[in-house]
Structure 1
Amino acid sequence: MKFLFSLVGKGEIKWVDVNPCDSDPCVFYRGQKVNITAYGQPRLLLSFIFVNKMWLIPFLGKLYKADQSYEKSIYDSNTAKISVTVNVGGIPIEYPGIDPNGCHYVKCPIKKGVGYTVSTLIPVYAYLPSITTTMKWDITGDNDVTLACAETKVTLNKKRTDINPL
């Protein structure tokens, strides 16, 4: 299975862990909470490939394991703002329940030469429609400078019925 996570901004995300996710696109079921953790630095545009439960990063013609670091931040920022949107009918809609204060997800201030881990818990509310869409994460800093931005396809679906509750 290959899962493509594309960057669309100036930032660089070195690895992303979506839990639970076992398909492409990821299927988020109503009533569950999805934990999305990413490690990155505001720097380059890259794409990531998920193969056999490991994120691989194409860089300079080689594939690196996602836990290897080879770039550093080039921006300083005292603040961070996070925005998660989904595309509904061509219109980006703010995903509900996400605290926009990025400093609650990553230690601020953000300094040059440092990589950061950001972890976001995404609640999948029962009232959300069943839809396959693009989910986009934007992290901006001082003066609305884009620190990192990424997007991927996801499916929001009815509650999963093929598993036994704990």
Structure 2
Amino acid sequence: MNSEKVNMLLTSQTMKPFNVLMCGMAAFLAGVTDAVTFRDCGSTGARVTGVEISPCDSEPCALRRGVNYIARVAFKANANSDTTGFSAHGTVGSRPMAVPLPSNGVCVYLFPPCPIQAGGSYVYSYTGAVSLNFPLGVTTLRWELLDGTGAPFVCIEIPVRVV
């Protein structure tokens, strides 16, 4: 066999696994990155860089009652913060609805963990089910990460549809 054929054979044999790997990685990322449209609603200490809800295959996200979802909020801190809590709520029709969140603190869901340092990049990740009592319909979900004074260190609004 001449050297050109050997080089061509070697190149095609080493590129096949690479191509398969890249196609697989692209398919995986397409399935796990469910970025959603959001609006900053007055973050005082951070710049939100992305919001994901998984699974979410439409805008607004259709959230089924009783089903677990993963919500991730990525942000870059502009200031140090001792986070004290978080809240989430929405309004369906004219009825305000609080989203029940666990009371075990923000730091459990934050990576890297607390304390929040200026200049650091963080991801808040929470997995939970939509309450069976949450009314059906379209709402704007407001999520706030509160600083030591109770001000919204991070504040975002996300349109969702509860089904």
Q: TM-score, normalised by structure 2?
A: 0.68
Are residue 24 (structure 1) and residue 59 (structure 2) matched?
Answer: yes
Are residue 7 (structure 1) and residue 13 (structure 2) matched?
Answer: no
Shift of 1:112: 1.0
1:107-122, aligned counterparts within 5 Å? 107-122=113-128
Are residue 131 (structure 1) and residue 134 (structure 2) matched?
Answer: no
Aligned-partner Cα distance in 2 for 1:82–1:35: 16
Shift of 1:80: 3.6
More helix by share: 2
Higher relative contact order by CA 8 Å / sep ≥ 6: 1 or 2? Answer: 1
Q: Which residue of 2 aligns with 1:51?
A: none
Shift of 1:125: 2.5
- After the TM superposition, which segments of 4 or more aligned residues of structure 1 sit over 4 Å from their partners? none
What stretches of structure 2 of length at least 5 have no aligned partner? 1-34
Q: Write the letter of the residue equivalent to 1:83.
A: S
Q: Write the letter of the residue equivalent to 2:39.
A: S
What stretches of structure 1 of length at least 5 have no aligned partner? 42-72, 158-166
Q: Write the letter of the residue equivalent to 2:42.
A: G
Aligned-partner Cα distance in 1 for 2:97–2:133: 15
1:46-85, aligned counterparts within 5 Å? 73-85=77-89
Larger Rg: 2
Q: Write the letter of the residue equivalent to 2:38.
A: F
Are residue 155 (structure 1) and residue 158 (structure 2) matched?
Answer: no
More strand by share: 1
1:103 to 102, 107, 110: 107
Which segment is superposed worse, 102-111 or 14-23?
Answer: 102-111
Question: C-alpha deviations, 1:60-82, integer Å up to 9, x for none?
Answer: xxxxxxxxxxxxx2211223411
Q: TM-score, normalised by structure 1?
A: 0.67
- % identical aligned pairs: 27
CA RMSD, aligned part only?
1.9
Aligned-partner Cα distance in 2 for 1:9–1:35: 23
